Structure 1
Amino acid sequence: MIRRLILLLVLLCACAAATLRPGPALAHAALVTAMPADGAVMARAPEQFTLSFSEPVSPLVLRLISPDGATTTLERFTLRDRTLTIEAPTELAQGSHVLSWRVVSEDGHPIGGSVVFSVGAPGARPPEASAQRDLPVTLALWLGRVGLYLGLVLGIGGVAFPAWVGPLPASSRKPLRMMLVLGLVVVPFALAAQGLDALAAPASDALRPEIWRAAIGSSFGRTAAIATAALLAGLISLSLAGGAGRALAFAALLGTGLALAASGHASAASPQWLMRPAVFLHGISMTAWAGALLPLALAMREANGAAALKRFSRRVPLFLIALLASGVALAIVQVETPGALLTSAYGLVLTVKLALVAALLGLAAFNRYRLTAPASRSVEPAKLRLRRVIGVEIAVVLAILGTAALWRFTPPPRTLVVALAAAAPASVHIHSEKAMAEISVTPGRAGPASVSIALLDGNFGPLAAKEVRLSFANRTAGIEAVERPAARQPDGSWLVDGLTVPVAGRWSVELEILVSDFEMIRLSDTIEIKP
């Protein structure tokens, strides 16, 4: 059976190598707004740069590429939740600059991009770093996840068998120890891959200290630390007899749930009070059920196999109920709409996983209702058939773990929706007898923003204005009017750039439109700014 499992794992690796082709890095959070904006041409050099994201992030690498191609690392910055404010170098040269950034989102996934702006006048665009994924690093990320899952689910799940089923068969100790050691060996391998991906570095840089600092500093670093402790506890429990061994194995099982809940898409989703417990419950339920399969199959060769089978059949429904309930909650939050199961990469991975889980449940039902009774009576053909079906179940579990590891490369639909919502503008239409204005604040949330103003006269015709001035106030929050002049755009609209809306809420907005030296039109209304 062990040789068959190894062969299946090799086949899964081959499939993953074919699937994980180099391609653009997928974002798990999104840049909502940048100051300067991409493509902006500025009369004078900015004193600072501002990047606002759809989710909380932490900076990894910030660089400024000057018109002559020289690169400056930006190390002075402040971070407030979703907004990163970076101090600009002094005396920026005339021409086009590239602000290149790479941050890590709350779920542990790196995001990178760049913003091009010009001082004085646009010049030749400086070269930018490629955002392509490196195939060896991508494959290492997947293999690291699969190896860690094998150690946690099959290794720790197996040593937890005595805690709820019965004594471990002697023949199961060696394969379980191999799984646990595999998990421990894979942890540094997975950390190195995480660091390489975080800094967009090639595999040849795996030994650089900054690679390891980036990996350990990410949320996956917490997962690696907890997983290591859980795997060591599971390994030690194999050497302890009686209640001490069972207690340590149970602690390792809880550690598996904590490790899986410490990072990843679902753990970073809202509401946190639901999602992290759901990931924890999903992890320990899957581990207890799937990890018990190998010891159960080997127990069927021994005299006490019938008793172990009865206890397993009687108690496993509790784990299945917890597994399905937590899985449904996670899927609803992550996917949001049924259509996303087939229209997003994350949804397609989930669809494949659901199909595999359905097959696993079908095999489990066949075992329970067709084979358990005769096997419990020590009918040899039924026991042999049961062992073979359990072997197929273990193969399906391996396929599930390999599929779940692909989620590392696919942002869930909820993050895309959040990014779109965060970038959506707030707008208001103001109409009077003499003039009307369509005002859009992008993004429509607190933080750096730009304001676009389209003007018409009272008869829906173009309004020729000499000057436009914008006033923003939120007196409920104790903020008096902030006034900014608007700049006429080539299309006839007016733009206020570099505005910062400090807090969410209902803001008073007023326009002063200078039509001529003797006529001023004032328009006012309120606009809702989201958090």
Structure 2
Amino acid sequence: MTRNTSTQLCLLFAMLLSAAVGLLIPAGEAAAHASLVRVEPADGAVIGAAPPTISLTFSEPTSPLVLKLIRPDGRTTSLDRFALRDTTLEIEAPTDLGNGTHILSWRIVSEDGHPVGGSAVFSIGGPSRGSAPVASEAIDWPVRIAIWTGKVLMYASLFLGIGGIFFIRWVGDCSPVARRAALWAIAGALLATPLTVGLQGLDALGTPLTALGNPITWKTGFSTSYGTTVLLAVASGGLALVAILTRGWAGKILSLLAFLGVGMALAASGHASAAQPQWLTRPAVFLHATGIAFWAGSLIPLVAAFAARKPDAVLALRRFANAIPFAVLPLVAAGMVLALIQLGGPAALWSTAYGQVLMAKLLLLVILFCLAAYNRFWLTKPTEQGDPVATRQLVRSIRIELAIVVTIFAVAAFWRFTPPPRALAEAAAAPASIHIHTAKAMADLTVAPGRVGPSLASIVIMTGDFGPLAAKDVTLILANPSAGI
């Protein structure tokens, strides 16, 4: 019986590997966090007349959420007439724009489901006298805390609930306490996961918690790729709920489908799944998520079985010990692949917020792996032989494992607010450009890449009516008086 069950689990993890490759390869191309490549009129440009349109070109297709124009007198105008042309967003400018400095404030959602915002300044006729209008966006801490809390609850309820039901159906149904805990976790998943859609909408629109009841908030949240993640997660929770109430092979199959759904849900959106190359990152996220679900989901059933002194507890422990390497090895390999892709270089570990979150997670993982190794190589065999001291130590150790796993979920939830270094590097590599327009002459200046370090400046000069200008001499003067340059 034990050998047959262990063989079934090994075959099951082989199926997971096949699913990761076969189901996720067809995913379309995408990039994490869209970055602004070009804006017209260019940021800082001085133009002679009001433009008929304002265009934003990004590094990937996007969906506009909020578009506003702040006028020289501080008034704000919403821009609701626009057209999407591949990666370019063409916005119809108001017809009554006067002279002075204007600020275009934009907020879009990128293909990885995360909102991205920014602003661009241009002047008509000349810069405004006195202080220019200001576009600023303060962090809405109540919304940010709510998003983080929702993420932690979603991770914990999905992994512990669906993973727990998978363990009960495939490894050992040893304790009514474990079944009740799994049911409570699934109930939490079915409540917390949909709520995160509304929180996603608040963040995307830049609105406060009081706007959570607005239909546009939920519509915006569902319109991002995160909406797919939530639909898959809720469907998986429903399957797991039916699986725990279903006996025999039907319950096993339903729990397996729910288990696969967790991996598919997390691979549908987010930093890692949207990174290139898609054929590698999406399967990696899938394997990472299913590995976590198996490991985390086993902890409560094991603790409950030994705490209740169930006779089948030792059998479940033996099956788990035989199967866990087939979950942990893909989990670790996938995590390393994703970290290498997202970091871009070792310096990002300590120089970026994303890397600092990763280091905190790695520290917790080292502690977790040491504890798991101690359990497997020092406590498992004596426990199987009925040693009461080893059994008490194992139960205590598994409880500590559970606490560390939940802490890892809390740390990982901070990634929601930290763009990966790779995306930051892509944005920094984008060229910086400016258009200078006067009645007699115009100049288009492009500096590539638009970041600190060696760059190439390209200047195209024209007459005021876009004709060729045979200039005898061109001088480029760069200055930043506020920085003493």
- Distance across 2 between alignment mates of 1:157 and 1:395: 16
Question: For 1:297, which of 289, 300, 303 is the aligned residue?
Answer: 303
1: CA distance, partners of 2:135 / 2:125: 24
What is the Cα deviation at residue 79 of structure 1? 2.2
Aligned partner of 2:265 among 259, 262, 271: 259
- Aligned-partner Cα distance in 2 for 1:245–1:335: 41
Residues 393 and 108 (structure 1), Cα distance of their counterparts in 2 relative to 1, 3 Å cut: same
Give 1:168 shift: 4.5
In the alignment, which residue of structure 2 is the partner of 1:90?
A: 95
Contact 1:148 1:186 in 2 (8 A): yes
Q: Within 1, Cα distance between the matches of 2:348 and 2:239?
A: 40
The percent of aligned pairs where both chains have the same amino acid is: 47
Query: Is the Cα–Cα contact under 8 Å of residues 237 and 248 in structure 1 kept in the other structure?
Result: yes
Task: State the match for 1:508 in structure 2.
Answer: none
Choose from 43, 50, 53 the match for 1:45: 50
Q: Is 2:183 the counterpart of 1:177?
A: yes
Give the one of 67, 77, 96 matched to 1:62.
67
Supply the distance in 1 between the matched residues of 2:445 and 2:125 (Cα, whole angstroms).
27
Structure 2: which amino acid aligns with 1:231? G
Find the counterpart in structure 2 of residue 351 from structure 1. Answer: 359
Q: Secondary structure at the match of 2:430?
A: helix
CA distance in 1, matches of 2:340, 2:395: 35
| 1:370 maps to 2:378 | yes
C-alpha spacing 1:484/1:343, structure 2 compared with 1 (3 Å): farther
CA distance in 1 between counterparts of 2:58 and 2:385 reads 62
Q: Is 1:400 the equivalent of 2:408?
A: yes
Find the counterpart in structure 1 of residue 125 from structure 2. Answer: 120
Q: Distance in 2 between matches of 1:81 and 1:287?
A: 38
Does the Cα contact within 8 Å between 1:160 and 1:253 map onto a contact in 2?
A: yes
* 1:46-445 to 2 correspondences below 5 Å: 46-123=51-128, 127-300=133-306, 301-423=309-431, 441-442=446-447
Structure 1 or 2, whichever has the larger Rg, is 1
Q: What is the alpha-carbon distance in structure 2 between the residues aligned to residue 395 and residue 317 of structure 1?
A: 21
Once the two structures are TM-superposed, the CA of residue 491 in structure 1 deviates from its matched residue by: 8.3
Helix, strand or coil: the match of 1:111? strand
Deviations 1:331-365 (A, max 9, x none): 11001111211111100111111111111111111
Flag the structure with higher helix content: 2
* Cα 1:333/1:94, change in 2 over 3 Å: same
Q: Which residue type is aligned with residue 146 of structure 1?
A: V
Change (3 A) 1:123 1:255: same
Distance 1:113 1:413, change over 3 A: same
Q: Does 1:492 align with 2:470?
A: no
Matched residue SS, 2:381: helix
Q: Work out whether residues 155 and 180 of structure 1, in 8 Å CA contact, stay in contact via their aligned partners in 2.
A: yes
SS at match of 2:245: coil
Distance 1:383 1:251 in 2: 33
TM-score computed with the length of structure 1 as normaliser: 0.76
- Report if the CA contact (8 A) 2:73-2:133 is conserved: no
Describe the superposition over 1:409-443 as per-residue Cα deviations: whole angstroms up to 9, x where unpaired.
Answer: 11110001111223379xxxxxxxxxxxxx97445
Secondary structure in structure 1 of the residue aligned to 2:42: coil
Change (3 A) 1:168 1:220: farther
Cα distance, 1:383 vs structure 2: 1.2
For residues 201 and 486 of structure 1, the distance between their equivalents in structure 2, rounded to whole angstroms, comes to 48
Letter in 2 for 1:76: R
Q: Is the 8 A contact 1:96 1:118 kept in 2?
A: yes
User: How far 1:33 moved relative to its partner?
Assistant: 2.1
Please give the per-residue CA displacement for 1:381-425, whole angstroms capped at 9, x wherever unaligned: 211111110000000100110011000011110001111223379
Moved more, 359-368 or 162-171: 162-171
DSSP-derived class of the 2:89 partner: strand
- After superposition, the Cα gap between the structure-2 partners of 1:484 and 1:287, relative to the gap in structure 1 and judged at 3 Å, is farther
Partner Cα separation in structure 2 for residue 96 and residue 141 of structure 1 = 36
What is the Cα deviation at residue 311 of structure 1? 0.7
Task: Indicate how the Cα distance of structure 1 residues 327 and 395 shifts in structure 2: closer, same or farther if over 3 A, else same.
Answer: same
In structure 2, what is the Cα distance between the partners aligned to 1:226 and 1:146?
17
Distance 1:351-1:241 versus aligned 2 partners, 3 A rule: same
When residues 121 and 147 of structure 1 are mapped into structure 2, their CA distance, relative to the original with a 3 A threshold, is same
Q: Which stretch of structure 1 is more off in the superposition, 363-372 or 127-136?
A: 127-136
TM-score by length of 2: 0.82
**Does the 8 Å CA contact 1:41/1:117 hold for their aligned counterparts?**
yes
Distance 1:486 1:494, change over 3 A: farther
Which has the larger share of strand?
Answer: 1
Which ranges in structure 1 are unaligned for 5 or more consecutive residues? Answer: 1-26, 426-438, 455-467, 471-482, 496-531
Determine if contact 2:39/2:54 at 8 Å carries over to the other structure.
yes
Residues 305 and 487 of structure 1: CA distance in aligned 2, closer, same or farther (over 3 Å)? farther
Counterpart-to-counterpart distance in 2, 1:264 and 1:318: 25
Q: Distance in 1 between matches of 2:467 and 2:422?
A: 36
Distance, in Å, in 2 between the alignment partners of 1:486 and 1:391 is: 76
Instruction: State the distance in 1 between where 2:230 and 2:467 align.
Output: 50
Instruction: Tell me whether 43-52 or 184-193 shows the greater mean CA deviation.
Output: 184-193
Point out the more displaced range, 387-396 or 123-132. 123-132
